[in-house]
Amino acid sequence: MITKAGIPPFVAKSNIDTPTKKEKYNNIAHDVRLQFKPNDIKYLIVESDNDINDLIHHLRNAKAHFDPSTIDRLSSRILTADQIRSDM
């Protein structure tokens, strides 16, 4: 089954194991976007504490159309991979 955008629901690794094969599927999916809203986001995961400020800066500047309370809520959902590893 192929979606309306012409994208198969699953692509076997053997179909994208070379740059040429992978480029074919990237070109098909080039204009397809996963749409979601800030309230859909449960977690924002960065590698370490050093990356948190960069993400908050990105949220404030690149996502300026979000109201300040949305930016604050998203900022509160930031976790680090280091935190997750230490909890295991």
10-66: pLDDT as tens digits:
889 999 999 999 999 899 888 888 889 999 999 999 999 999 999 999 999 988 899
| Number of domains within the chain | 2
Reported residue count of the chain is: 88
Q: Which two tokens stand for residue 48?
A: 């370490």
**3-class SS at 78?**
strand
Same domain, 47 and 68: yes
pTM here is 0.67
Please give the residue range of the domain that contains residue 59: 38-87
The DSSP call for residue 38 is G
Q: Half-sphere exposure (CA, 13 Å, Cβ side) for 24?
A: 9
For the cut 70, the answer to whether the pLDDT of residue 4 exceeds it is no
Distance CA 64, CA 75 (A): 14
Same domain, 24 and 53: no
